[in-house]
Amino acid sequence: MPSAPEEFTHIPTHVAIIMDGNGRWAKSRGLPRLEGHRVGTETLRSIIRACDAFGVKCLTVYAFSTENWSRPADEVNGLMVLLESVVENELDALHKEGVQIRHIGRLEALPKGLAEKVRNAIHVTQNNPGLILNIAWNYGGRDELVYAVQRIVEEGIPAAEITEKTINDHLFTCGCPDPDLIIRTSGEYRTSNFMIWQGAYSEWIFTPVLWPDFTKEELRRAIIEYGRRERRFGKV
């Protein structure tokens, strides 16, 4: 198993990333927005390997939000094709590397054939012992809380018995620890409806680097910065 760099004083167990800036990266080069998304998938490939090499146990990537459906139809359709291509082309390699693929969000909203391929990837890798990869597709933090409340109500759990653990157990991320570190690329300073429950005490790093240009070295720097922070969780 690879060893983490010596300069890491603390390694986050769970890293989450808002992969932002694909469109601007493409526009700056006179390319269609979808080309930025395609190059962004290559970046993701390298960051998955980097997380594994650095000792990160769980990686969550914000790939498609509940609000992204309002984008132009050709871009949305292109993103669906791109996701299908990534699932088909990357599954074998990720499986061999021991990556466990999970999905967070409302999978039923995806085209039927694509949803089945995602479910198959989840099934094939479910017992893998390596990095947990949560793909947030058709995901929104508010929608996740609605989903959790709906399930709690359906199960008939009395209001007096509902605790933070009850809510945690009904979130899409059930079984994963809260993210220690959340990174947003592209220089935007917004949380964009991402992990609003789980990220309550996460450390945030906002980098100006556009997602297609985000490298293993950029991740290394973020983890070093994370190690400099003192996490008090509201305590002294």
Query: Known catalytic residues?
Result: 20, 68
The span from the first CA to the last CA of the chain, in angstroms, equals 37
- Crossing angle of helices 216-228/33-54, nearest 10°? 60
Sign of the alpha-carbon dihedral angle for 187, 65, 45, 126: positive
Q: Give yes or no for a contact between 230 and 64, defined as CB atoms under 8 angstroms apart.
A: no
Q: How many CB atoms lie within 10 A of CB 138?
A: 20
Among 2, 130, 132, smallest CA distance to 54 is for: 2
Which residues does 151 contact at the CB level (< 8 Å), separation at least 6?
170
- Crossing angle of helices 112-125/73-96, nearest 10°? 20
* DSSP, res 236: -
Among 21, 7, 106, 125, smallest CA distance to 65 is for: 106
Sign of the alpha-carbon dihedral angle for 18, 98, 101, 44: positive
User: Under DSSP, is residue 102 helix (H, G, I), strand (E, B) or coil?
Assistant: strand
